[in-house]
Amino acid sequence: MPEINSADRNNFVDLPGELEEALTRIGKALPEWGMDGTFLAASTIERYRAELAPVPQFAEAMATLRAKLSTAGAGFAVVRLGNIAAALGEEQFLRLTTAIIAEVAVPFQPLQRYELWKPIGTKPGKDPNMTSGTGYQAHHIDLVNATMPPDYTVLLCIRPDPLGGGASIVSDARAAVERLTKTSRDLLAEPVFSYGQFFELADVGEEFRPFPVLDGEPHGRGFVRFTGKMLTQSGMGEPHANAAQELAAQLIAGQKTFTLKGGDLLFLNHHRVLHGRQALGEGQHGVAPDDRRLLLQLFLRDSSQPS
Ligand SMILES: O=C(O)CCC(=O)C(=O)O
Ligand SMILES: [Fe+2]
Q: What is the CATH number of domain 11-301?
A: 3.60.130.10
Q: Domains of the chain: which residue ranges?
A: 11-301
Instruction: Decide whether any atom of ligand 1 lies within 6 Å of the 292 Cβ.
Output: no
pLDDT of residue 220: 84
- The model carries a pTM of 0.96
Judged against a pLDDT cut of 60, whether residue 200 lies above it is answered with: yes
**Of 140-149, 199-208, 213-222, the least confident:** 213-222
Judged against a pLDDT cut of 60, whether residue 122 lies above it is answered with: yes
Instruction: Decide whether any atom of ligand 1 lies within 6 Å of the 284 Cβ.
Output: no
Closest protein CA for atom 6 of ligand 1: 131
pLDDT of residue 269: 97
Judged against a pLDDT cut of 60, whether residue 10 lies above it is answered with: yes
pLDDT of residue 306: 47
Closest protein CA for atom 9 of ligand 1: 131
Closest protein CA for atom 1 of ligand 1: 277
pLDDT of residue 76: 98
Count of CB atoms situated within 10 Å of the CB of 56: 10
Of 76, 127, 275, 299, which is best to mutate to test ligand 1, by the most ligand atoms within 8 angstroms of its C-beta? 275
**What is the pLDDT confidence band of residue 71, given thresholds at 50, 70 and 90?**
confident
Of 131, 132, 158, which is best to mutate to test ligand 1, by the most ligand atoms within 8 angstroms of its C-beta? 131
pLDDT of residue 3: 57
Count of CB atoms situated within 10 Å of the CB of 10: 10
State which amino acid sits at residue 204: V
Is 158 within 8 Å of 292 (Cβ atoms)? no
CA 22 / ligand 2 centre spacing (Å):
32
Average confidence (pLDDT) over 287-296:
97
Instruction: Decide whether any atom of ligand 1 lies within 6 Å of the 264 Cβ.
Output: no
Average confidence (pLDDT) over 193-199:
92
Which atom of ligand 1 sits closest to the CA of residue 168? Answer: 3
Q: pLDDT exceeding 70 applies to what percent of the chain?
A: 96
Ligand nearest to the CA of 120: 1
Spatial separation of the C-alpha atoms in residues 107 and 303, rounded to whole Å: 10
Spatial separation of the C-alpha atoms in residues 23 and 302, rounded to whole Å: 24
pLDDT of residue 72: 85
Per-chain mean pLDDT for the chain: 94
CA 256 / ligand 2 centre spacing (Å):
15
φ, ψ of residue 298 to 5 degrees: the values are -140, 180
Spatial separation of the C-alpha atoms in residues 20 and 36, rounded to whole Å: 30
Instruction: Decide whether any atom of ligand 1 lies within 6 Å of the 293 Cβ.
Output: no
Q: DSSP label at 9? A: G
Q: Give the pLDDT confidence of 123-175 residue by residue, as tens digits.
A: 998 899 889 999 999 999 999 999 999 999 999 999 999 999 999 999 999 99
Instruction: Decide whether any atom of ligand 1 lies within 6 Å of the 51 Cβ.
Output: no
Kind plus residue range of the DSSP H or E element containing 295: strand 294-301
Judged against a pLDDT cut of 70, whether residue 1 lies above it is answered with: no
Closest protein CA for atom 2 of ligand 1: 277
pLDDT of residue 218: 87
**Of 77-81, 103-107, 194-198, the least confident:** 194-198
**What is the pLDDT confidence band of residue 223, given thresholds at 50, 70 and 90?**
very high
Q: How many C-alpha atoms does 18 have within 13 Å on its Cβ side?
A: 5
Judged against a pLDDT cut of 80, whether residue 307 lies above it is answered with: no
φ, ψ of residue 277 to 5 degrees: the values are -150, 140
Judged against a pLDDT cut of 70, whether residue 236 lies above it is answered with: yes
Average confidence (pLDDT) over 262-272:
97
pLDDT of residue 68: 96
Of 113, 114, 122, 155, which is best to mutate to test ligand 1, by the most ligand atoms within 8 angstroms of its C-beta? 155
